[in-house]
Amino acid sequence: MSEAESYPVTNRNKVKRKPQRGSYDKQAVYDILDSAMICHIAYVIDGQPYCTPTSFWREGDDLIWHGSSASRMVRAQSGGVPVCLTVTHLDAVILARCGFNHSVNYRSVMAYGTAHIVDDLDEKHKLIDAFLDRFFPGRAATMRPATVQEVKATTFIRMKIDDASAKVRDLHIADDEEDYAWPAWTALYPVKQVIGPAEECPRQLPDVKMPEGMAGWTPGRKLDEVMLEMYREHYEK
Amino acid sequence: MSEAESYPVTNRNKVKRKPQRGSYDKQAVYDILDSAMICHIAYVIDGQPYCTPTSFWREGDDLIWHGSSASRMVRAQSGGVPVCLTVTHLDAVILARCGFNHSVNYRSVMAYGTAHIVDDLDEKHKLIDAFLDRFFPGRAATMRPATVQEVKATTFIRMKIDDASAKVRDLHIADDEEDYAWPAWTALYPVKQVIGPAEECPRQLPDVKMPEGMAGWTPGRKLDEVMLEMYREHYEK
């Protein structure tokens, strides 16, 4: 694998527990990130760690998210601040024949880099549109345009991924060979996050129709599949 | 509200952004935590933040989870290490008439405290059973018993919640009054995480039946509802 296709393995992104589940392949990392609407971000203020859930998206090797209560701290550090952005998709619960082999199936990414506030107003304006279109392709053009006030009040934080790793478990029950004779009931329960039917705004104007860009948001679909499809529709078409 | 019923508001758990969504009520915090199988934990090693997804559960005001690559670091600090444990349930996606009012409905908790490794073997043995029974009531008694080797190889980390806050958005579209005349299509998409039908182990013994304790794990149910029900079945009956 060439350097361009995978992240360097560093002391921080190296998968230490269950290393066979780890991957440093960029496409594997991107696919897990692009399938998510929500991430969790760890940062430090005065030695205290914080873990904040937020919506985010990817542009190339950059991750971008909304400001949080950490924004002031990020702004105060002109060199940026170190963060770890994590995405987790839960796929199944595994009930084995002993406590030790109980597990879950999942796809996760931990991405590391230095976070900076986006200050340029033109760039922020573009990011507001990208933030919409990444999830709802073509939506930005149908919006009441953002006011200067709103653009100023919106904080975006941007981080180039310096290194990252993906970790995946995608197995059925994996008991120790000698345990298969033990008479415990064992099973895998699939887990999925799905979207329901659109509940239109009660004050929807009578002549407004659902735009074509929302065709992929059909009831019952997995949110991670919709997210990945919308991402590709917006960025790769 | 008495002190016993709510967490103290400190500089770290105070909800700064959208404070109207915040709560320090212990029962509100517990209900969000007890509805979750997975949390994200932020900790710091040498100034670098890490955000790790893991399974966890609550016993009174203590949160307990499986060891991770941070275990060595936690063990090395005899006084324990500061962590932030976060749970997030995504409930809906909100498409408004301007970018600024797009949002998601969610229930989240950020809990702060000092994490310690559990070293006592008897306590670890009990925790292995509690870890199973919290999610699958009565399951521990049906398991092939844990070996001393397994108990030694299992790391548990325990943290008393010093302070915490819950944050909830549970609204439909909330546009600015003057924007309701703007002809954009707007809607709320419900999101839920559901379990599927049990896929039994292909090597299930022929005379083994699904135990009664799994009756609540019925296909199509929301995982958060099942989690809360199982919690109460195990700890409150």
So what's the pLDDT on residue B211?
Answer: 94
Interface touch A187/B202, C-beta < 8 Å: no
CA distance B138 to chain A (A): 12
- Nearest partner of A105 among A188, A16, A222, A227, judged by Cα: A188
pLDDT tens readout for residues B140-152: 999 999 999 999 9
Query: B146 touching A, CB under 8 A?
Result: yes
CA distance B184 to A141: 10
CA distance B12 to B110: 10
Interface touch B196/A189, C-beta < 8 Å: yes
- Nearest partner of B78 among B41, B119, B46, judged by Cα: B119
| Percentage, residues of chain B above pLDDT 70 | 97
Query: A228 touching B, CB under 8 A?
Result: no
Query: B174 touching A, CB under 8 A?
Result: no
A81-95 and A187-195 beta bridge pairing: antiparallel
Burial class, B193, CB count within 10 angstroms (exposed 0-12 / middle 13-18 / buried 19+): buried
pLDDT tens readout for residues A127-149: 999 999 999 999 999 999 999 99
Span A84-93, average pLDDT:
98
Q: How confident is the model at residue A4 (pLDDT cuts 50, 70, 90)?
A: low
The answer to whether the CB of B196 falls within 8 A of the CB of A187 is: no
Query: B168 touching A, CB under 8 A?
Result: no
Taking 3-state DSSP, the helix, strand and coil percentages for chain B, each rounded to the nearest 5, stand at: 30, 35, 35
Q: Does A126 reside within a domain? A: no
CA distance A22 to B212: 37
Q: Does A160 reside within a domain? A: yes
Query: B186 touching A, CB under 8 A?
Result: yes
Interface touch B41/A51, C-beta < 8 Å: yes
Query: B208 touching A, CB under 8 A?
Result: yes
- A66-80, B30-44, B109-123, B153-167: segment of lowest average pLDDT: A66-80
So what's the pLDDT on residue B75?
Answer: 78
Please name the residue of chain A whose CA is at the shortest distance from the CA of residue B187.
Answer: A200
CA distance A28 to chain B (A): 18
**To the nearest whole number, what is the mean pLDDT of chain A?**
94
So what's the pLDDT on residue B4?
Answer: 66
So what's the pLDDT on residue B68?
Answer: 66
Span A46-58, average pLDDT:
95
Q: Residue A84: which of B50, B90, B129 has the nearest Cβ? A: B50
- For the cut 60, the answer to whether the pLDDT of residue B1 exceeds it is no
Span B159-173, average pLDDT:
97
Residues from chain A that touch B129, judged by Cβ atoms under 8 A, are 99
Q: Residue A86: which of B53, B84, B199 has the nearest Cβ? A: B53
So what's the pLDDT on residue A2?
Answer: 47
ipTM (interface pTM): 0.95
Q: How confident is the model at residue B111 (pLDDT cuts 50, 70, 90)?
A: very high
Interface touch B49/A44, C-beta < 8 Å: yes
- For the cut 80, the answer to whether the pLDDT of residue B45 exceeds it is yes
Token pair listed for A213:
């860009």
Say how many residues make up chain A.
237
The answer to whether the CB of B192 falls within 8 A of the CB of B222 is: yes
Span B175-185, average pLDDT:
97
Q: Residue A172: which of B51, B142, B201 has the nearest Cβ? A: B201
The answer to whether the CB of B81 falls within 8 A of the CB of B72 is: no
Q: Residue B16: which of A69, A97, A110 has the nearest Cβ? A: A69
Q: Does A66 reside within a domain? A: yes
Q: Does A18 reside within a domain? A: yes
CA distance A111 to B207: 46
Residues from chain B that touch A37, judged by Cβ atoms under 8 A, are 90, 93, 104
So what's the pLDDT on residue A9?
Answer: 95
| Percentage, residues of chain B above pLDDT 90 | 86
Q: Which domain holds residue B48?
A: 3-235
So what's the pLDDT on residue B206?
Answer: 94
Q: Does A200 reside within a domain? A: no
Q: How confident is the model at residue A17 (pLDDT cuts 50, 70, 90)?
A: confident
Q: Does A199 reside within a domain? A: no
Phi, psi at B211, each rounded to 5°: -70, 155
Read off the CATH number of the domain in which A97 is found: 2.30.110.10
Query: A73 touching B, CB under 8 A?
Result: no
- Nearest partner of A89 among A33, A144, A138, A49, judged by Cα: A33
Count of domains for chain A: 1
Interface touch A182/B214, C-beta < 8 Å: no
Q: At what angle do helices A121-135 and A223-235 cross, to 10 degrees?
A: 130
Please name the residue of chain B whose CA is at the shortest distance from the CA of residue A214.
Answer: B185
Query: A50 touching B, CB under 8 A?
Result: yes
The answer to whether the CB of A163 falls within 8 A of the CB of A112 is: yes
Interface touch B184/A208, C-beta < 8 Å: yes
Paired residues of A92 in beta bridges: A105, A190
CA distance B145 to A69: 46
So what's the pLDDT on residue A74?
Answer: 80
Query: A205 touching B, CB under 8 A?
Result: yes
Query: B38 touching A, CB under 8 A?
Result: yes
Span A93-115, average pLDDT:
97
Interface touch A53/B40, C-beta < 8 Å: yes
**End-to-end CA separation in angstroms for chain A:** 26
Residues from chain B that touch A104, judged by Cβ atoms under 8 A, are 37-38, 55
Between B2 and A179, the more confident residue is: A179
Interface touch B146/A104, C-beta < 8 Å: no
Token pair listed for B110:
């950020």
Interface touch A210/B187, C-beta < 8 Å: yes
Say how many residues make up chain B.
237
Q: Does A127 reside within a domain? A: no
Q: Does A224 reside within a domain? A: no
- For the cut 50, the answer to whether the pLDDT of residue B185 exceeds it is yes
A61 to A85, A187, A235, B127: CA distances (angstroms): 13, 39, 13, 41
